[in-house]
Amino acid sequence: MGQDLLPPLLSAPGVETWAFYILTTLSICLAIAVLADRVVIRSGFILIGVFGTISGIFLLLSAQFLALAQIMIYAVGITLMVVIALMLTNPRLEREQAVVYYDESLPPLAKIFASCKRNLSLWVSVLSFVTLYSALIGENHWPLSDQAVSPDAVKVLGEALVTNYSIPFEFSSVLLLAALMGAVMLAKGESKNRDDDNVAIVDEAKKQENNLALQR
Amino acid sequence: MQNVVTVKEPQSSVNLALGYALFAAAVVGSYAGVLFTPTGIERIFTNHYDFWACLGLALAGWIVRSVGGHKGVIVTMTVLASFIILTLHQPMLLRYLTFAALLFSMGLYGMVQSRNAVRVLLSIELMLNAVNINLIAFSRYVDPVALKGQLFVIFVLTVAAAEAAVGLAVVLAIYRSRQTVDMDKFTLLKW
Amino acid sequence: MFANGDEIFKISRLTLAWLTIIFTIVWMVCWGVGIGLPMLLSQQLGDQANLANEILRAVTPVIAILVFIPINAMFMVLIERRALALWTVRKGPNRVGPDGNLQTAADAVKLLLKEDITPTGADAAMHTFAPILFFAPSIIGAVPLLAAVTNDHPLFHILNLPTGIFYVLAAGALPVVALVMAGWASNNKYSLVGGLRSAAQAISYEIPLVLSLVTVCLMAGTLDLVKIAQQQAGGILNWNLLGGGALVGLNQALGGGGAKALEAAYPMGPVSYICAGLLVCSLIISFWLYLTGACAEINRIPFDLPEAESELVSGYNTEYSGMKFAIFFLAEFTNLFVVASVTTVMFLGGGDNPIPPYILDKIPGIPQMVAAIRDSFFCQTLHIINPETLFATLWVIAKVYGLVIFAILIRATLPRFRIDQLMAFGWKRLIPLSLIVFIIVVFAREFVNIHG
């Protein structure tokens, strides 16, 4: 964990492999659970686990700063927002129904085609994985470097951000500001109309109260 | 539309078999790239293990499914086993890249398949994370001094945060006007 | 004159006795695992024991934290109840044991023996997992602090991270998710509202909290907790609370550097003096910003809306009982302790003595005392006492528990916010203030030669 402990531990034979397989196994299982869980809010919580294991993989790649940023931004910030949005848009906390349209009257071959059509997204994703994997296998001659990542990587990153990459850095800050304002505007939305509605409701309630009082 | 009925679980073993066949074809296809490298042909003839192992997995999965195993468990086990088979004898960089590719395709599947708009956003976050893993793996193994990959990950994180905020605000706005977040119901612009 | 003089006496006695017991136990365990046992093993086995010794040294910090957290929480609950009783002029716990001092032990036993209930319709897995996710980060977050508060003691050196403070912040952000999870998984509307409130509150107050710490890191030029603590050595004028190093020149001048040291530290004359004054003001403001943000982050009382018992029965932990509730309870007090330690390391000089060395050396008896301790049997042969660490640790304990007692005083004094007041206070007051402080520090530090 410490700066003295991690590199020699990782350079020991097999340790990185074992850590990699444990983390990826967890990560893949949790990612499948995120996609497959019928309760959307629960899948939002499971997403935290996926991000946590991915941050572990960042640690394996000796990107300490980004592993922590991953936990702070993804696992807490974004997931929390997602979960709250889910709770707001799914007030009755119901499960998603597995609706499958299945035509009984088709001939067998047409049935197969229909089922392929239903699962088109599965084929698309499998094909995308296959394409990526074959591209990786075919392109396997990158100029690998034997150097270790410098221990003060944070300093390198910080210097690059304010020298070579200062314009993208500034633009990202503008983007964040714009996104902040845009999100507030969008989420606030039609507050005026809703206030009018509330006023109308309150007026109606007052009228009813008056009527009741008059009746008495 | 009268004939269309809703059933609990369709008979999908044919479908699953097709999937495995496609997967096997994919493994074969992955060799197409190897063919053009100098030692490619020898590699195909000496290293058959991953092809046969994936085919065996496909068969095993199909058998377990037709006997009546749980779908999620089978899918998880198959994905995991094929991932391990595909990466076990690769160099470290390629393992990370393969993992990122797998995560990316899973995110793609979720993005296309999900009907809940928030789950679509969630899958997009998964895909962005896969991209981040790619960038960091390259910066670790190809460019460990200047760390340009990590820099780009910082920008990706920023953009992802902005995207999540705006995306969720849009979803909330849509929910307020339509009372639903079902992607199939947002058909106002469909012709 | 003191209407409740004997209450104050009782509290002081209790604090001293408990702190002595806690830290003696923890240090004996650490010494036994990290130094004593390896020494014994090397004597018996020679070189064969090296691997075992390495493992023992590596697990020492974890064992230290695991031993420390439960006893410390028990002590903090007791001191909180007693101090609240003192400040609200009541009688505190006074039934179990002498003066009621065994009350928390009895409470702990009660909680452990209670039945563990999962409510109907609750998501059982999430309901079980939430307390764990709430408790684990407070342990993980306490880990890099250990090296900083013990003045980089060799036993705890392996825990020192180059990105220490960022690590603590990341660990401190995780419990919020656990609270939302607990609220949702309980299948109870009060719990859900409590969880959502805690999320909103934590997200809003994390911004001033992080900005105030970023200000300190900007002055220190590093994220490493040990380096930040060591930079502040040499008396109260060097502490980050007073200008984050802006007064180092003044300190050197007073310590014998004279006008030359002043000239070196404040090269631009009056402009530099004004900027140093600005830095002192901004860092004091950031200290209060950090305390406020941290209070909100760990749901202490002016901000304890997630568990406001007059509005929501008990907030997110309404549906928890037995062991799971005990974990929530434990984690809350551990978080308070972690926050106090972070404040100590970042603002109050870590294990530094507030009296500068040039005054301390003139007091008769103190150098001789340090030398006597250094030459003693305990220090030389058994390594039980390490003089650098000993005094640093004593100061850290004093500062941390001072802050804890201050938090209890706030709890006894201030009423609870309303939710809209809380949000308005966070977004309209604290965040602009922290941004202004940050910008002032960015510009003012250019005119002062910080940390020599």
Asked if residue A149 belongs to a domain, the reply is no
pLDDT at position B7 is 44
Q: A3 in contact with C at a CB cutoff of 8 Å?
A: yes
Asked if residue A45 belongs to a domain, the reply is yes
Average pLDDT over residues A10-25: 78
Average pLDDT over residues B153-172: 87
Domains and CATH numbers, chain B: 1-89 (no CATH), 92-191 (1.10.287.3510)
- The predicted-structure confidence for B116-148, as pLDDT tens digits, reads as follows 888 888 899 899 999 999 999 888 888 888 788
A135-149, B18-32, B84-98, B170-184 — which is least confidently predicted? B18-32
Residue B25 pLDDT exceeds 70: no
Same domain, residue pair A31 and A81? yes
- The predicted-structure confidence for C10-57, as pLDDT tens digits, reads as follows 888 888 888 888 888 888 888 888 777 877 887 877 777 777 777 777
Average pLDDT over residues C177-201: 84
Average pLDDT over residues A160-165: 88
Angle among Cα C278, C280, C282 to the nearest 5 degrees reads 65
Residue entry with tokens 């996710």: C133
Whether residue A4 and residue C157 make contact (CB cut-off 8 A), yes or no, is: yes
For residue A196, the one-letter residue type is: D
Do the beta carbons of residue C349 and residue C225 sit within 8 Å? no
Chain centroid to Cα C221, Å, comes to 22
Query: What's chain A's average pLDDT?
Result: 77
> Quick one: which of C69, C73, C72, C66 has its CA closest to C19?
C72
Asked if residue A211 belongs to a domain, the reply is no
Tell me the nearest-neighbour CA distance from B186 into chain A, angstroms: 15
> Quick one: which of C361, C389, C321 has its CA closest to C115?
C321
ipTM attached to this prediction: 0.82
Same domain, residue pair A90 and A1? yes
Do the beta carbons of residue A47 and residue A70 sit within 8 Å? no
Same domain, residue pair A37 and A122? no
Q: A1 in contact with C at a CB cutoff of 8 Å?
A: yes
H or E segment at B37? Answer: none
Total number of domains constituting chain A? 2
Residue B46 pLDDT exceeds 60: no
- What is the distance between the alpha carbons of residues B138 and B129, in angstroms, rounded to a whole number? 14
pTM, two decimals, is 0.82
Q: List, as own/partner pairs, every contact residues C383-387 make where C-beta atoms lie below 8 angstroms and the sequence separation is at least 24, other chains included.
A: C383/C31, C383/C35, C384/C27, C384/C31, C384/C35, C386/C153
Contacts of B29 in chain A (CB under 8 A): 130, 134
- Chains with 3+ CB–CB pairs under 8 A to A are B, C
> Quick one: which of A59, A71, A54, A56 has its CA closest to A6?
A59
Q: How confident is the model at residue A1 (pLDDT cuts 50, 70, 90)?
A: very low
- The predicted-structure confidence for C216-269, as pLDDT tens digits, reads as follows 888 888 888 888 888 888 778 888 888 777 777 777 778 777 777 777 777 777
Select the more confidently predicted residue: C109 or A120: C109
Same domain, residue pair A133 and A47? no
Residue B48 pLDDT exceeds 70: no
% of chain B with per-residue pLDDT over 70: 66
Same domain, residue pair A120 and A50? no
Same domain, residue pair A90 and A110? no
- What is the distance between the alpha carbons of residues C100 and C114, in angstroms, rounded to a whole number? 22
Whether residue C161 and residue A2 make contact (CB cut-off 8 A), yes or no, is: yes
Same domain, residue pair A109 and A58? no
Residue A51 pLDDT exceeds 80: yes
- What is the distance between the alpha carbons of residues C115 and C415, in angstroms, rounded to a whole number? 34
What residues pair up with B5 in beta bridges, in sequence order? Answer: A102
A3-7, C104-108, C270-274, C320-324 — which is least confidently predicted? A3-7
For residue C59, the one-letter residue type is: V
Q: How confident is the model at residue A54 (pLDDT cuts 50, 70, 90)?
A: very high
Q: How confident is the model at residue B9 (pLDDT cuts 50, 70, 90)?
A: very low
Same domain, residue pair A82 and A111? no
Residue entry with tokens 């060591």: C230
Residue C117 pLDDT exceeds 60: yes
- The predicted-structure confidence for C283-331, as pLDDT tens digits, reads as follows 899 999 999 998 888 888 788 777 767 777 777 787 888 888 888 888 8
Asked if residue A186 belongs to a domain, the reply is no
Q: A115 in contact with B at a CB cutoff of 8 Å?
A: yes
Contacts of A64 in chain C (CB under 8 A): 161-163
Same domain, residue pair A72 and A104? no
Please identify, among A139, A169, A200, the residue that sits at the C-terminal boundary of a domain: A139
> Quick one: which of C171, C200, C167, C166 has its CA closest to C183?
C200
Asked if residue A169 belongs to a domain, the reply is no
Asked if residue A105 belongs to a domain, the reply is yes
pLDDT at position B130 is 92
Average pLDDT over residues C198-212: 87
Please identify, among A35, A65, A98, the residue that sits at the C-terminal boundary of a domain: A98
For C116, other C-beta atoms within 10 Å of its C-beta total 11
- The predicted-structure confidence for C412-442, as pLDDT tens digits, reads as follows 888 888 888 888 888 888 899 999 999 998 8
Asked if residue A21 belongs to a domain, the reply is yes
- What range defines the domain where residue A129 resides? 100-139
Same domain, residue pair A89 and A108? no
Residue C190 pLDDT exceeds 60: yes
DSSP 8-class letter at A101: E
- What is the distance between the alpha carbons of residues A193 and A5, in angstroms, rounded to a whole number? 60
Q: Which residues, 6 or more positions from C280, have their beta carbon under 8 angstroms from its beta carbon? A: C242, C243, C246, C247
φ/ψ of B182, rounded to 5, equals -75, 125
Q: How confident is the model at residue C397 (pLDDT cuts 50, 70, 90)?
A: confident
Same domain, residue pair A53 and A75? yes
Same domain, residue pair A5 and A26? yes
Contacts of A47 in chain C (CB under 8 A): none
pLDDT at position A53 is 93
Please identify, among A98, A114, A131, the residue that sits at the C-terminal boundary of a domain: A98
Asked if residue A144 belongs to a domain, the reply is no
% of chain C with per-residue pLDDT over 70: 95
